[in-house]
Chain A
Amino acid sequence: MMRLPTFTYVGAKTLEDAVTALADDPEGTRLVAGGTDLWPNLKRRHQGARSVVGLRRVAGLRGITGDPAAGVTIGAMTTLTDILRCPMLRDGYPGFVRAVASISSPVLRNMGTLGGNLCLDTRCTYYNQNEEWRQSIGYCMKEVGDTCWVAPGSPRCWAVQASDSAPALCSLDAHVVLHSTAGERVIPIADLYNDDGIVYLTKSRTEILTEIRLGPAGARRSTYWKLRRRGSIDFPVLGVGVALELDGGTVSSAKIHLGAVHSFPVAATAAAAHLLGKSLTEDVIAEAAELAKDPASPLDNTDFTLQWRRRMVGSYVDGALRELAGLPPKATPSVHGEGALALEV
């Protein structure tokens, strides 16, 4: 039996309890929401904790309010299944809901929360292994070692961003609310992420992510495409979040964010800029897809070869843009959460 290590558990009932407990020992305390990331990490001894603050019973952190016309607020403890079962989110923010539908498996979506998915630890072939495996290579710099085995000459850790909801919400310009004993602050979700595999969040150790805020949906079209080996359970090997608006047939705004090809959800800014003021023709889409490959840095840190993953960035951006343009898919379309969307109606 692979057991959890011992720790002091604080079952917070109010946000005040939670931020106070966190402020007592920020370095030794971890937060637990759905537990689907923290418990495996503690079991495998990737992470340690003197104490764990449980957010499950904190009042007011779970639920979806507002509407797509005015904007929607989602509590950080809202489960991924709650999101799939919310018709107004499907109508207003299809790219985000598709990203949630493609996260892991139904059982894990019943447990996992949106806040937890956004704060998901970065992952790596050399890190997400058992203790004996990691010990045999002298660990890596994300743990107690001093080498990044993905790029041994590198001064930094290249563990990969693994959340599906993050690139989708970045493309939709969502904001997140962070709470601490010092009060609350609201930041664009893209600013939550740091270009580092170890310190991958800009959120301080004393802050708790409490809310996700989506602006008015307007006429924005959005989608999310996910590459993975199996149709369920797997973390993304590539995630493409796209949101754009058309004005009289030409693109008036566009955002493309790529997941799982860097330590943070990376913006494909040149590709998005290329679309502005143009019609979504096959050629324009293909040119943008080519440009989207530039900011992606797939390395030997997850499934599949990095050359192929880089090529897939172009294919997936192309496919996602064609979908939003109403063009037929070039190849048999892959599955990006359709099963979960049908199941959780």
Chain B
Amino acid sequence: MSEHVTATYRVNSEGRTIAHPAHHTLLEVLREACGLTGTKHGCELGECGTCTVLIDGEPQLSCLVLAREVEGAAIDTVEGLEGRDLHPLQKTFADLGAAQCGYCTPGILMAAKALIERKPTPTRADVCEALSGNLCRCTGYIKIIEAVEWAAALCRGESGARPADASLYGVCKEKPHG
């Protein structure tokens, strides 16, 4: 049997003291010891981004973090996103249908949350760059990008910034070359 460690983690502002195999990653501890299966395991090699969580506010890949190295750090997962109401990102992703299979969504939500908190008015290029480590193999990215932009507007206290229908579903009604 492998060596176990007992460590205290701050997950979604809640202290959890957990005994787990010493060589387990944060992803394994979150999913298997904490039962927080919202964080997904994808490639497990740092290439897909679906296991993204926030560690001290910065998006990081939980599949490549040795859990015991982040003992004491603030860890935020998708389960902690919702307060009394849905987070604006959850609302806009749901309203715009910015998910198909949804497997990449938790990671994208966390990366987008960090972006909006750091840059309340991100440009489209900022959104694309901030999400460039999160792969989605279903939707294409247009609805995801629009959902993040809309959520940023809601977080700024603006209303009615729902993206125009013209660009929903990735269909551009204007001819690209006049």
Docked Cα-Cα span, A108 to B28, in Å, equals 19
Task: List A residues 208-223 near B (Cβ within 8 Å).
Answer: none
B103–chain A nearest beta-carbon distance, Å: 15
- Measured between beta carbons, the chain B residues less than 8 angstroms from A43 are 44-45
A105 in contact with B69 (CB, 8 Å): no
Docked Cα-Cα span, A111 to B125, in Å, equals 22
How many A-B residue pairs lie within 8 Å, measured between CB atoms?
Answer: 103
Task: List B residues 96-127 near A (Cβ within 8 Å).
Answer: 111, 115, 119, 123, 125-126
Q: Kindly report which residue of chain B lies nearest to residue A39, judged by CB atoms.
A: B64
B24–chain A nearest beta-carbon distance, Å: 7
Task: Given A40-B46, A106-B111, check contact A9 B58 (CB 8 Å).
Answer: no
Docked Cα-Cα span, A336 to B24, in Å, equals 35
B132 in contact with A233 (CB, 8 Å): yes
- Which of B's residues lie within 8 Å of A, judged by CB? 2-3, 21-25, 28, 41, 44-47, 49, 52, 58-61, 63-66, 68-69, 111, 115, 119, 123, 125-126, 128-130, 132-134
B132 in contact with A105 (CB, 8 Å): yes
Residue of A32, A81, A232 near B66 (CB, 8 A) is A32
User: Size of chain A's interface in residues, with CB distance under 8 A?
Assistant: 36
Q: Which of B21, B25, B111 has the most CB of A within 10 A?
A: B25
- Does A203 sit at the interface, judged by CB under 8 A? no
- Does A5 sit at the interface, judged by CB under 8 A? yes
Main secondary structure of the interface of B (DSSP, over half): mixed
Q: Which of A4, A5, A231, A340 has the most CB of B within 10 A?
A: A4
B133 in contact with A232 (CB, 8 Å): yes
B66 in contact with A6 (CB, 8 Å): no
B144–chain A nearest beta-carbon distance, Å: 15
A201–chain B nearest beta-carbon distance, Å: 22
Task: Given A11-B68, A107-B60, A110-B59, check contact A6 B45 (CB 8 Å).
Answer: no
- Measured between beta carbons, the chain A residues less than 8 angstroms from B66 are 4, 9, 32, 35, 39, 52, 54
Q: Which 5 pairs across A and B sit closest by C-beta, in order of nearness?
A: A105-B133, A232-B132, A339-B129, A107-B133, A40-B45
Docked Cα-Cα span, A81 to B25, in Å, equals 22
- Does A343 sit at the interface, judged by CB under 8 A? yes
Residue of B24, B47, B65 near A111 (CB, 8 A) is B65
Q: Which of B64, B125, B128 has the most CB of A within 10 A?
A: B64
Docked Cα-Cα span, A115 to B66, in Å, equals 18
Docked Cα-Cα span, A32 to B64, in Å, equals 11
- Does A330 sit at the interface, judged by CB under 8 A? no
Docked Cα-Cα span, A345 to B165, in Å, equals 32
Residue of A3, A9, A56 near B28 (CB, 8 A) is A3
- Measured between beta carbons, the chain A residues less than 8 angstroms from B52 are 107
Q: Mark A6-36, 1 if CB is under 8 A from B, else 0.
A: 1111010000000000000000000010011
- Does A144 sit at the interface, judged by CB under 8 A? no
B127–chain A nearest beta-carbon distance, Å: 9
- Measured between beta carbons, the chain B residues less than 8 angstroms from A1 are 28, 41, 44
In the assembled complex, 23 residue pairs joining A and B whose CB atoms fall closer than 8 Å, in A order, are: A3-B23, A4-B23, A6-B23, A8-B3, A9-B22, A9-B66, A11-B69, A35-B69, A43-B44, A44-B45, A104-B133, A105-B132, A105-B134, A107-B60, A107-B61, A107-B111, A108-B46, A111-B61, A233-B133, A342-B125, A343-B115, A343-B119, A343-B126
